[in-house]
Homo-oligomer: A and B are copies of this chain.
Amino acid sequence: MNDPHPWAAGLESLHDQVWLRLQRGVADRHAAARHPVLATVAPVGMPQARTVVLRAADPEARLLEVHTDIHSAKIADLRANPHAALHVWDAGAHLQTRIEARATILTGDAVAAIWARVPDPARQSYGTRPAPGTPIADALAYDKPADPAAFAVLRLEVLAIDAVHLGQRHRRARWRRETGWRGEWLAP
């Protein structure tokens, strides 16, 4: 039987595939990497996980970007502990990608150019009143005025990537910044 994913057999081709699929997530709203799960650690030490939208992926700079409301809980989490994990399960590729990253929170003038390119309907995701996660008396007792002051960009500097390909035999590899992105196979 032919291997449907020959790129899974080599460390370099597997690494390339991970970044290719992250870039596809940015470009194509139907790609698996469009909606990663972002995990953070709340100030009390509780892990938190939620779906986000991947907005940028730069393989050369090893940066990823996610947009969020500055008043959301994930911002409070990342201010206390800037480490984040991103998780993508790509069913078509039989590929799980796990990313460790350090987040920088950008707002205001630093993201004005990005805000200018956010389409009108999407702008309503930033500036919910009361702030996201606030208890409200009724399910619909909130407003969504577009508020550039609530718009934040999470710039995620990738520190490590762990990829698992589920094939006839599973293959798992890891790449880390601290070892110059030299890949290594791991027992899956």
Contact = CB atoms under 8 A, between A and B. Distances in A.
A137 interface: yes
A34 to B, nearest CB: 11
Contacts of A37: 37, 39, 49, 87, 89
A63 interface: no
A96 interface: yes
Interface in A37-67: 37, 39-41, 45-51
A132 B89 contact: no
Nearest to A44: B83
Given A35-B89, A133-B187, A45 B81 contact: yes
Nearest to A87: B49
A21 interface: no
26 contacts: A9-B139, A37-B37, A39-B49, A39-B85, A41-B41, A41-B45, A45-B81, A45-B83, A46-B100, A47-B48, A47-B83, A47-B84, A48-B85, A48-B98, A48-B100, A50-B96, A51-B89, A51-B96, A130-B187, A133-B187, A134-B186, A135-B174, A136-B185, A136-B186, A138-B185, A142-B187
Given A45-B83, A131-B187, A142-B188, 19 more contacts: A35-B89, A37-B37, A37-B87, A39-B85, A45-B81, A46-B85, A47-B47, A47-B85, A49-B85, A49-B86, A50-B96, A51-B87, A130-B187, A132-B186, A132-B187, A134-B187, A136-B186, A137-B185, A140-B169
A28 interface: no
Nearest to A35: B89
A114 B184 CA distance: 35
Chain A binding surface, main DSSP class: strand
Interface of A: 9, 35, 37, 39-41, 45-51, 81, 83-87, 89, 96, 98, 100, 128-142, 169, 171-174, 184-188
